[in-house]
Structure 1
């Protein structure tokens, strides 16, 4: 069996729509502001063995999830081409929603948040047991400093955590209708390693929290699919979408496209992708900001803040 080592969380089939004429995409890493990488889609948006899973027999399966994702990804480029021609794609709506869903839940922005939540639960449980006297007191050097203790989480746990993110995304999908916006300006859409966005459009952009929406409130979904195409979802489109399916529109407003790109950069986790240079000033404004999990007491939430390195998980086999 051919073991797959590179597990792409940003599919090559998706990024190829953002290639420049030389077959490269521009990569702006948030950890390296001012540096621009030109790479082909196969050379970015991946981690080694990112979707590997333990099997009941005690081995590691490196291919199953990656193979399943590849089936979904393979349907995507023809759909984008048809949307570019403004064709009726209503028979492909399931494939469209499936791809959007996958690009929300499989990415490091989502999985790292799940692991941060689990780490906070471990700390809270430890403190509770300590307060009850159910476990021995920590060493003197750690007393009063338990919040500083780093907790590493088995990455396999965040694969299971994708189920919760899937359910949250389905709730969003049930509330919105989809359209595709054709960008007729000279300002291309940007994308990122966390390309599926939703937010509360009633809140000022400076006060938006990642993926925070009110029950019964308005929702705006953004998903750039090429430099000239954007999937736009909204609660305002629900009725017409229910009757007629996916609709098309276009924009000739540079300012609107820049506003979308600003939101894309804000939600980007580690990297922003572009098809051409020219928006470096906008991208650089958000280099120290990513959607990250922050715990405050017993509660936590996603906020825009500085991304920190997570503690590395060490399997028992390596101990």
Structure 2
């Protein structure tokens, strides 16, 4: 789900991570190789055998992950990195996350359910006496393989939006560190008061900002604006405590299930972060473009409506 080579940059001196599960409200201390893993997350059925095909993970994602340490070394030494590889890494990190795949599946299920509800009741046969109304209690189940198709589609068609963005390398000051999550690359808009207003799982709008923590001490911050061209500033920009706070609040707010950080930050700051962190939910789904937007309410109602049955 999230590659070990990335998570290793957020581990403690003992080689372990601090992982907080939002869904289970529990803190864990796994090694990077055991964290944020879901069995058969990218598998495809083949020859009638479920979870038989692993080409996405082994042939495609593995090739990108291998180059991640080199990207980090280039950026930390303030050299211009391979931008094509960096942007592909960012987009793959974005589209492979649960925030993309599960949102797509729930959004598609919600679309099908809304179409069902528009069918006039007069066209639905009345159930026999003493039998439950199955139509009213119907739940829609979306094949998880559909979101793999969506993942490939977005990587192929929307990668160019990162080449329309301006990025700055940001450093955490002494005593401060970045958090990350199972949804590390976040596109978002902010309100006039500086609070996060809208979060975009895939396609940004004009003036959308993007943040991507690379390590505990380095993050990429940028802004998308169509037609403004690409710029990458590798000079050191040391953020203030407020700058660190906003990035960490964004990561906590946009974590789909789990937030990852060092052992100090959750103890000191988690209660304050959790007060400003929305629980994300699909507010809009565009069936033509496949775009969906998240807002600050619970995912629970959609998960109840959709029989979400991803195999673990």
2:281, 2:299 within 8 Å by CA — same for their partners in 1?
yes
SS in structure 1 opposite 2:274? coil
2:27 matched residue in structure 1: 36
Cα distance in 2 for residues equivalent to 1:241 and 1:212: 21
TM-score normalized by structure 1?
Answer: 0.80
1:220 matched residue in structure 2: 209
Cα distance in 1 for residues equivalent to 2:212 and 2:158: 13
1:210, 1:304 within 8 Å by CA — same for their partners in 2?
no
Q: How far apart are residue 207 of structure 1 and its match?
A: 5.7
2:173 matched residue in structure 1: 184
1:16 matched residue in structure 2: 8
Matched, 1:234 2:230: no
Aligned length: 297
Matched, 1:98 2:88: yes
1:6 matched residue in structure 2: none
Q: How far apart are residue 191 of structure 1 and its match?
A: 0.3
1:265 matched residue in structure 2: 252
1:280 matched residue in structure 2: 267
SS in structure 2 opposite 1:23? coil
Cα distance in 1 for residues equivalent to 2:147 and 2:228: 35
1:211 matched residue in structure 2: 200
2:98 matched residue in structure 1: 108
| Counterpart among 301, 305, 313 of residue 297 in structure 2 | 305
Cα distance in 2 for residues equivalent to 1:77 and 1:122: 42
| Counterpart among 50, 53, 64 of residue 55 in structure 2 | 64
Moved more, 151-160 or 215-224: 215-224
SS in structure 2 opposite 1:265? helix
Moved more, 150-159 or 212-221: 212-221
2:165, 2:223 within 8 Å by CA — same for their partners in 1?
yes
Matched, 1:195 2:184: yes
SS in structure 1 opposite 2:200? coil
Matched, 1:291 2:291: no
Q: How far apart are residue 211 of structure 1 and its match?
A: 1.3
Q: How far apart are residue 151 of structure 1 and its match?
A: 1.8
Distance 1:136 1:130, change over 3 A: farther
SS in structure 2 opposite 1:249? strand
2:187, 2:200 within 8 Å by CA — same for their partners in 1?
yes
Please show how residues 120-139 of structure 1 align to structure 2 within 5 Å.
120-130=110-120, 133=123, 136-137=125-126
Gaps of 5+ in 1: 1-8
The C-alpha deviation readout for 1:192-214, integer Å capped at 9, x for no partner, is: 00001111245545461211899
Q: How far apart are residue 255 of structure 1 and its match?
A: 1.8
1:5 matched residue in structure 2: none
1:88 matched residue in structure 2: 80
- CA-based RMSD: 3.3
Cα distance in 2 for residues equivalent to 1:150 and 1:176: 40
1:54 matched residue in structure 2: 45
The C-alpha deviation readout for 1:89-128, integer Å capped at 9, x for no partner, is: 2xx1111001100111111111111111111222233334
Cα distance in 2 for residues equivalent to 1:64 and 1:178: 32
1:184, 1:250 within 8 Å by CA — same for their partners in 2?
no
Cα distance in 2 for residues equivalent to 1:212 and 1:10: 16
2:200, 2:292 within 8 Å by CA — same for their partners in 1?
no
Cα distance in 1 for residues equivalent to 2:170 and 2:127: 57
Distance 1:86 1:276, change over 3 A: farther
The C-alpha deviation readout for 1:221-252, integer Å capped at 9, x for no partner, is: 1000101100112247986844xx44323215
Gaps of 5+ in 2: none
